Amino acid sequence: MDDTRANDLFRRLTTFGVLNLLILILIIATISTNGNGIFLGFIIGLGMLVVFYGTTVTIGFAKKRNLYDIRYANFEQFLSTVFYIVGLIQTIVGFLAVEIFLIIQGLLLVLLGNSTRKRVSTIRNSQFMQWYNKRLDSEVILRNEEVYASCPNCDSLLAVIPSLLSTKDRCPNCDGLLVNSIEEE
């Protein structure tokens, strides 16, 4: 998978994740107006917890943090199930109450659940996961005692162990000396 296609796919997955969160908020707002006090409090509390978790996971996924691809896929799978269940319930209630708009809304939620489920399989694709977990050059993990240093001649960024540097060490890019020798008189 080349970087351009992967970046476009990543941007679309993130955008759809944000839109799914907004739809979840609308579902919670709709359900929470149709109940008694205890049910209303339970739905709002649980809904806010799920929205907070979803927002955190979506932001982590958007910033390409480690293991957030798995969390994001699991959250999208959860949302897919919620969309299926709510959509089926609304479709059944719409047929029973002969409400055409409720039937249409329920069917659209079922379709949204299906498309969200397909995005989960895209996120779990081995090529996408390999691209997502690929580290950039600036994210290289240093070994013990290594630090970043720049060459005094060409400003190349190098990983060095300061205690092992000598006046004879040279830069691999410009072949200049890494340590300036200063003679004191």
- Domains of the chain, residue spans: 3-132, 139-185
- Residue in the block written with tokens 């579902």: 27
The encoded tokens of residue 141 equal 């993990």
Residue 185: predicted pLDDT: 37
The encoded tokens of residue 130 equal 């390999």
Q: Is the pTM of this model over 0.85?
A: no
Give strand pairing partners of 160.
Answer: 147
Helices (H) and strands (E) in the chain, counts: 5, 2
Residue numbers in the chain where pLDDT is lower than 70? 1-2, 32-36, 135-141, 181-185
Residue 71: predicted pLDDT: 92
Contacts of 30 (CB under 8 A, 6+ apart): none
- Of the candidates 174, 34, 78, 32, the one whose C-alpha atom is nearest the C-alpha of residue 70 is 78
What is d(CA 12, CA 18) in angstroms, rounded to the nearest whole number? 10
Residue 107: predicted pLDDT: 95
Residue 33: predicted pLDDT: 64
Residue type, 146: E
User: Which string of DSSP letters, residue by residue, matches 109-128?
Assistant: HHHHHHHHHHHHHHHT-HHH
